[in-house]
Amino acid sequence: MKSSASAVSASAVSASAVSAIAVSGLRKAYGDKAVLDGIDFEVAAGSVFSLLGPNGAGKTTTVNVLTTLMKADAGTVRVAGHDVATATREVRAAIGVTGQFAAVDELLSGRENLRLMADLRRVRSGGRLVTSLLERFDLMESADKLAATYSGGMRRKLDLAMTLVGNPRIIFLDEPTTGLDPRSRRTMWAIVRELVAEGTTIFLTTQYLDEADQLADRVAVLHQGRLVAQGTPEELKRQIPGTHVRLRFADLDELDVAARVLAGSTRDDEELTLRVPSDGESRSLRVLLDRLDEHMLNAAEFSVHTPDLDDVFLALTENTSTKVAAR
């Protein structure tokens, strides 16, 4: 991607040539309820971008606007270089969408669903394509059974297979693994990775931080209508306290002593815990334990904590009214 871009003359390469998706100042309200309150992001071609947020955050609304199904109230959105507001047809020709709720026709078999899609998209030698998709998604055995008899995981796979008919360059996946068993989830992840390896751009929404961590090149966290954080999973993790050891003591006296002798620690009097920055390696842990011994301190609990995206998410969305209201 990079080398071919640099081979083209600089003037021919505009920002939109490398941005598969460019969103600026996007707003959307339902009635007087603002769901998207001015969001901006860009997705590089050939990358995976994950929009992360809890139920009701506005993920599907974003997907709907980006895929021309819904009009924005304000802002500009370009997908595959085209404005979604004015070039609906061009945008639709470049994208594939797998919605949150499977678009599979239950009264048709898996093969028939795919065949129908191939016909709609006027794919030549559709039969061969259908067979190869059934094989790729491990649906051959059930190909001629009604989709109504498929498990949730099989339906999602069929839905995604249908999205791939016509080779869209940009694919939108709205919560592709919500409600799937761990095994089907892994299969979906593997397929996403294959698509990216082929150069497809993926816009993926999820409520699962580990999913974004596993798949995404960049992540944006949607909270109360705004993107409260954006970056690579590693960058986001760096925004919050790093690896540390957590110690819990039996009483305040012990906590007092421990807080004094362990440099750089942060105490929580209510929880009777102490957080000590550490690289988590065995040598530093031994030094820490020796320190406790020297002062005849005993930690009732001892754990090494490595931050993950869950911590980022909690840190970013702490102390907000919606969280309290959701309880």
Ligand X SMILES: Nc1ncnc2c1ncn2[C@@H]1O[C@H](COP(=O)(O)OP(=O)(O)O)[C@@H](O)[C@H]1O
- Which residues contribute to the site for ligand X (CB under 6 A)? 30, 35, 53, 55-61
Query: How close are the terminal C-alpha atoms of the chain, in Å?
Result: 46
CB of 41 to Mg ion, least distance (A): 17
CB of 51 to ligand X, least distance (A): 8
Answer for the pair 244, 303: CB distance below 8 angstroms, yes or no.
Answer: no
61 binds, among ligand X, Mg ion, none (CB under 5 to 8 A by kind): ligand X
Q: Is the Cβ of residue 30 or residue 148 nearer to ligand X in the bound state?
A: 30
Q: Is the Cβ of residue 59 or residue 267 nearer to Mg ion in the bound state?
A: 59
242 binds, among Mg ion, ligand X, none (CB under 5 to 8 A by kind): none
Answer for the pair 100, 54: CB distance below 8 angstroms, yes or no.
Answer: no
CB of 17 to ligand X, least distance (A): 30
CB of 234 to ligand X, least distance (A): 24
- According to CB under 5 A, which residues from 287 to 326 bind Mg ion? none
CA pair distance 324, 162, nearest whole angstrom: 40
Residue among 19, 50, 60, 201 that touches Mg ion (CB under 5 A): 60
Mapped onto helix, strand or coil, the DSSP state of residue 292 is: helix
Buried b (16+ CB within 10 A) or exposed e, 173-201: bbbbbbebeeebbebbeebbeebbeeebb
Q: Is the Cβ of residue 173 or residue 229 nearer to Mg ion in the bound state?
A: 173
- Walk across the sheet containing 218-223 and list its strands: 95-98, 170-174, 201-206, 48-52, 218-223, 226-231
| Residue 61 binds to Mg ion (criterion: CB under 5 A) | no
Distances, alpha carbon 231 to alpha carbons 140, 213, 242, in Å: 39, 11, 17
56 binds, among ligand X, Mg ion, none (CB under 5 to 8 A by kind): ligand X
Q: Which region among 43-51, 81-89, 95-103, 221-229 touches Mg ion (by CB under 5 A)?
A: 95-103
The DSSP code sequence of 194-231 is: HHHHTT-EEEEEES-HHHHHHH-SEEEEEETTEEEEEE
Q: Is the Cβ of residue 164 or residue 173 nearer to Mg ion in the bound state?
A: 173
CB of 290 to ligand X, least distance (A): 49
CB of 273 to Mg ion, least distance (A): 36
Q: Is the Cβ of residue 59 or residue 82 nearer to Mg ion in the bound state?
A: 59
Q: Which region among 1-9, 34-42, 57-65, 141-149 touches Mg ion (by CB under 5 A)?
A: 57-65
CA pair distance 308, 310, nearest whole angstrom: 5
Distances, alpha carbon 191 to alpha carbons 74, 160, 167, 198, in Å: 34, 9, 14, 11
CB of 117 to Mg ion, least distance (A): 23
Total of chain residues touching Mg ion, rule CB under 5 A = 3
Residues forming contacts to Mg ion in the complex (CB under 5 A) are 59-60, 100
